[in-house]
Every structure is written in C-alpha cells, then in structure tokens.
Amino acid sequence: MANTQTTVPKFTTLEVLTSAAQNLTAGTGCPVFANATTRNAAFGGANKVLAEGQICYLESTNVVQLYDGAAWQTVGPAPAASSGLTFITSGTFSAVSQGTVTACFNSTYDNYKVILDGTNFGGDLYLIFGAGGTISTATNTDWATTNSISGGVAGVSAVNQSKALIQRNAILGTINIEIVGPNLAQETKHSVISAGCISGTSGISGTSGAVVKNSTQFTDFTIRSDAHPSGSITFSYRVYGYANS
C-alpha cells in the first residue's frame, strides 16, 4: 500500500534529512503498517523508541491504534455489529424490590445475554419483559425450573404467568440469562443458568427457561424480588448483544 512504512525515523544531530525521509514522516500523518508484526519491528533500535501516546494504523485489520505505555489499544473504528458479542450496558441496583433496564433491546440484535452478579438476591427472583418503559402484565409466560440444593428443592413450573422465575432461594450468586428474540415480532424465549448460596452456608444451582407466548417487541427487562413490593435486592448487571451473523 502507498502509505505503508517499515520504520519510524529518528534523526540525529547534523543528519541529512532526505526527501524520502521527509515524505515518509509527513506524508502519512500517522505511521501506517502492514500488520502488528511490522509495527513492532518499526520501533526501537535506530528508530524512534516506542512511547506512550504513539498512534498508528494497521492495514491488516483496518484500525487505528494507540500505545498506552504498556500495550497497543485499538482506538477505532468500533467493531462492526457482526463481530460477535457486543457490550450494550451495565449498572447496579442497590436495595430495591425491583430493577428495570429500559431501551436495552432493539433491532440491532436478535439475541441477548444478561449476566447478573448478586450480593443480595434476597431469595426467589423473577424476570419480566417490558416495552417503552412499561412492564408487561400480560399473563402469557410459561416457565419451568430445575434445582439442585442442599436438602433438596424440587423443580417447579407454571403456565400463563406475568413473570418467569429465574432463581430460587439464593442470597449471593450469579445468573446468566440467554434471551432469544426479545425485540422480534415473535415469542420471546429465555434460558437461565444460576448458581449461588443460601445465607452463605448452602449451595444451590439451577436451570430454568420460559416462553412469552405473544409477539410483543420488548425493549426492557425487569428483575423483581418475590417479596415485591417489599424485599431488598442488590445486584449488578451487564447486557450484551449477539451478532446476527
């Protein structure tokens, strides 16, 4: 490529500045390398010492990078929507009976991953979808759970509910929710793997799943304590979108 270079010149006292060197330095604006290997080889030795603040462009991946003093970081462009799992949002709910995240599902992705990290799940938890800031009250969710717990808690299920049980009993724990098609005009399905402990003494793990049997295009989700409107739950969340291709 026309801009590709293999060195980043460093001039010493009384050294002749050739037109080639000048063109190389001024012509590119920022150093352009074929790939990370040639980039790494272009610094140090007789060349410029790599230092914090250095930028470059890599032809192999079409990205602009910045050296932060320890490693090269990609500045941009942002990964395309088709590059896999993309972070959407995160946050923390503290001492509430329910937490709602709005406008996190849209047409960019068909499927989503939600990870909950609970310091106090307070017991059973429910997942409810919503749209435009309004929590759905439609009673068309079928759900089922399986559980493994000290002392034994049988799996439970229910049909035509307004919410889906995603976690049983745990106080401290994690919940991983895979959501299929929340913003599509079709049924919304989700599967859950959860694990945690009860009062810090007994372990529990479980799986669950549910189908919302309508074609509502959801944009929001809500995590609700089973003690709602009382109860107190504290957890952080992260939401990711799966690329469609």
Partner 1 sequence: MNISQIEIHDVISGEIVRRDLNETELADAQAEKAQAEKDAKAKAKTEQVLADKRQTILDRLGITADELKTILS
Binding site residues, partner 1, CB under 8 A: 88-89, 91, 93-104, 133, 137, 162, 225-226, 228-232, 239
Least distance (Å) from partner 1 to the CB of residue 13? 53
Closest to partner 1 by CB, 48 vs 228, is 228
φ, ψ of residue 24 in degrees (nearest 5): -65, -45
Min separation Cβ 100 and partner 1, Å: 5
Q: Which of 35, 26, 220 is nearest to 128 (CA)?
A: 220
Q: Judge whether 143 and 157 are in contact, CB under 8 Å.
A: yes
Closest to partner 1 by CB, 27 or 133: 133
The amino acid that residue 155 corresponds to is G
Q: How far is the CB of 233 from partner 1 (least distance, A)?
A: 9
Query: What token pair was written down for 3?
Result: 């801009």
Provide CB contacts within 8 A for 41, sequence distance 6+.
6
Residue 18 identity: T
In the complex, minimum distance from the CB of residue 51 to partner 1, in angstroms, rounded to a whole number: 35
If the CB atoms of residues 4 and 162 are measured against partner 1, the closer one turns out to be 162
Which CB atom, from 18 or from 89, has the smaller least distance to partner 1?
89
Q: Which is nearer to partner 1, 173 or 241 (CB)?
A: 241
Are residues 87 and 125 in contact, defined by beta-carbon separation less than 8 angstroms?
Answer: no
Rounded Cα–Cα distance for residues 150 and 162 (Å)? 29
Distance in Å, CB of 82 to partner 1, minimum: 21
In terms of residues, how long is the chain? 245
